[in-house]
Amino acid sequence: MVMEVSGWFVVLCLIVQLRQTICAYCGSSYYDPSDNTCCNGVLTSSKNQQCCGKKGYKPPYETCCNGVVNSPGGSHCCGYKAYTPPYKTCCNGKLNAPGGTYCCGKKAYTPPYLVCCNGVLNTPGKKLCCDKKTYDPDNETCCYGKLHPRNGLCCGTVLYNPEEQICCRGIVHTNKHRCCGTESYNPYSEQCCYGRHVKTRGFCY
């Protein structure tokens, strides 16, 4: 609450000049620090308060969160709101009630009831994450964030059969023998030139 200073007190400060004992300056007027609190140039109606921006507040009954007074208070701040764990949880600036053990994006959760995969909550039952989904590595394969419904080896984001195919830096080739960069070649009739180009054998230049 903003406090108006009585005229007699202002006159007393000007005449007696007791500015360092009972008179202090707040904004554009004098005040008595034993009766009021000055918060950034604004006079409040109570003494011995702490300042929250231009307002006074009384901990622990009230809490200042980023310039906003919260009543009742809390032990922590979540943005402009006060809260007390574990009844509530702050996740990236969003207050969750009831609380949780961990944060998944802006949502609170408690394992093993939920699983967080890259900011997305999934129901339990599978062991690992593939991008934003859970999967079972015994029956599924995750290739750089792409989920496949069977087991296999990854070549980039796809599966390949090493008995019939070859993976050259993320590119799958069939019926070839060796890799030259992302290309494949037959070493009996071709050769790899400078690790990048496949040429007819004997013709690197």
Q: Is residue 30, in this structure, part of any structural domain at all?
A: no
CB 115 within 8 A of CB 126: yes
- Give the residue numbers spanning the domain of 176: 152-204
Segments in the chain forming alpha helices (H) = 7-16
Per cent of the chain over pLDDT 70 is 87
Is pLDDT of 112 > 70? yes
Tokens of 2: 């903003």
- As for how many domains the chain has, the answer is 1
The secondary element (H helix, E strand) that includes residue 74 is none
Q: Is residue 43, in this structure, part of any structural domain at all?
A: no
Mean pLDDT throughout 29-58?
85
Q: Is residue 95, in this structure, part of any structural domain at all?
A: no
Is pLDDT of 105 > 60? yes
Helix/strand/coil for 96:
strand
Q: Is residue 31, in this structure, part of any structural domain at all?
A: no
Is pLDDT of 63 > 90? yes
Helix/strand/coil for 143:
strand
Q: Is residue 170, in this structure, part of any structural domain at all?
A: yes
Is pLDDT of 11 > 80? no
Is pLDDT of 152 > 50? yes
Residue 179 phi, psi dihedral angles, 5° rounding: -105, 145
SS3 content of the chain, % helix, strand, coil (to 5): 5, 45, 50
When mean pLDDT is compared across 45-49, 52-56, 75-79, 148-152, the lowest value belongs to 45-49
Q: Is residue 189, in this structure, part of any structural domain at all?
A: yes
Which pLDDT score, from 0 to 100, does residue 195 have? 76
Q: Is residue 164, in this structure, part of any structural domain at all?
A: yes
Q: Is residue 171, in this structure, part of any structural domain at all?
A: yes
What beta strand segments (E) does 2-47 contain?
24-26, 29-31, 37-39, 42-44
pTM: 0.61
